[in-house]
Chain A
Amino acid sequence: MSFEALANWIHNWLYETLHPTVALLVEFAIVGVLIIGLFAVLGLVLVMMERKVSSWMQLRLGPNRIGPWGWFQTVADTVKLIVKEGMTPNNVDKLLFNLAPMLVIVVSMVIMAPIMFAKGIQIWDINIGVLFVAAVSSLSIIGVLMAGWASNNKYSLLGAMRSGAQIVSYELSAGLSILVIVVLTGSLKMSDIVMAQADGWWLFKGHVPAIIAFVIFIIAATAETNRAPFDLAEAESELTAGFHTEYSGMKFALFFLAEYVNIFVVCAIGATLFLGGWMPFHIGSWEGFNHVMDYIPSSVWFFGKTFLLIFVIMWFRWTFPRLRIDQLLSLEWKYLLPISMFNILLVTIIALAGWHF
């Protein structure tokens, strides 16, 4: 039984046995629990993946003491963070200081709404899905600024302000590269975008503009999630830990978790837009090949593509040195933005003339 059938069965059963309002509330609760569970699993898996990828790229062993080949290291780390005291320093703005991690984590939870995890598995298929993601993802900077300001610490404030400048800049090229796919599909709805790629992914169907947009999207996604080489908001060699210098225990863990969940979210969006979401890999008229590909479950396709992009972003992190703030801004405003504006012109011509497949 596929996930879609299971979800539909639960949905029908709830609406048959319960009052519709109660059934809706129960569904809210189920979705909430599932999302929190996904967050916990993502936190454990992605942190472990990051540590292993980084160690293998530096010819090290990585964590190898807890569990087989150290796979339970992140479980131990999580237990440590839960047990630790969540301190609130004396001269901080107590309300904002404690609110900031919550806000950041809530924003990452909200972006989960329009993502299609598998065929028919989506929390909320709104007709402005992509716009929703672009709008909500820029809210997390408010949490970062809040944390930086409330901490009453110059490093935190500097880190937060850098992060603000960075996200305001890179939202532009991320938005323009998303727009390329929206122009090709003619819809902002996530399910429409995925269905449009049934006969081939946009990365292959969209000619040169889609490839340029994909590269720019990956760069902008790396910048928006504040990861190296764009991790100026943290910049541990300059600002100790940037905006979360004053945080400890579970409040720090929430920032940390939000960072990794945001990576997952942007990579999921990238996989949906450019690599066809849960759509299997199909080649033109190779019937046999396409048929074999259809047997792989759609959730495996989606998570496989997402984790491939996550790996690419981790690869960036462990290869490139950190940019200076002026280099960061000149990369965006002098290179990425003009290229993506030209790119959107090109893709509009292609879409109007119907040159794409």
Chain B
Amino acid sequence: MTLKQYFKDIFTGVKSLATGMRVTGGYFLRHHKEKITEQYPDNRDKLVLAERFRGEVVMTHDDNNEHACTGCTACELACPNGTIKIITKFDMTPEGKKKKALDTFIYHLELCTMCNLCVEACPTSAITMAPTFEHSVFDRSQLIKKLNKPGSKIREGVE
């Protein structure tokens, strides 16, 4: 190490330390204006979560109580830990043909790791991730959910 390099090291070292201290000192001075802490139980009503937050799998239903699930079981195959179980039935089309349709979409929240693979696998975008996180219950059986609402049926035109 040359003498020039030695003094250069000292200078750059001090300069980079001062840069760091300027950042934290700036935060210290304006801490009352920009807080990043979420006061969670207090601000529960107006809590804003990130758009990509993955809390649980839900099936989207429109106003006519119709969903987009064809019962193709792509999500069930995509799930790495057997969280989803799809029970299918056969509907009769007006032409008198038999058509495969969704009967029950069973979702085990207690097994889910929120990996998003089922949502990506879905060809009709029937399921999505909801930004909810208050999942605690007193009994494990309450975590087994049926995602399609009672009486719902597949939307017209979704194949």
What residues make up the interface of A, taking CB atoms closer than 8 Å to B? 53, 55-61, 315-316, 318-320, 335, 339
Contacts and interface: CB of A to CB of B under 8 A. Distances in A.
B34 interface: yes
Interface in B32-50: 34-37, 39
A316 B24 CA distance: 9
Interface stretch (B15-23, B53-61, B126-134): B15-23
A351 B36 CA distance: 52
Binding site of B, secondary structure by majority: helix, strand, loop or mixed?
A: helix
Given A57-B28, A58-B27, A59-B27, A315 B35 contact: no
16 contacts: A53-B28, A55-B31, A56-B31, A57-B24, A57-B28, A57-B31, A59-B31, A59-B36, A60-B35, A60-B36, A61-B37, A315-B24, A318-B24, A319-B23, A320-B20, A339-B10
Given A61-B35, A61-B37, A56 B28 contact: yes
Contacts of A59: 27, 31, 34-37
Given A56-B28, A57-B28, 11 more contacts: A55-B31, A57-B27, A59-B34, A59-B36, A59-B37, A60-B36, A60-B37, A61-B35, A315-B21, A319-B17, A335-B10
B24 A319 contact: yes
B80 interface: no
Given A53-B28, A58-B27, A319 B21 contact: yes
A61 B24 CA distance: 15
Q: Which of B10, B20, B39 has the most CB atoms of chain A within a 10 A radius of its CB?
A: B20
Contacts of A320: 17, 20
Contacts of A57: 24-25, 27-28, 31
Query: What are the nearest 8 A-B pairs in CB distance?
Result: A56-B31, A319-B24, A57-B24, A61-B37, A319-B20, A59-B36, A57-B28, A60-B37
A56 B27 contact: yes
A109 to B, nearest CB: 32
A339 B35 CA distance: 41
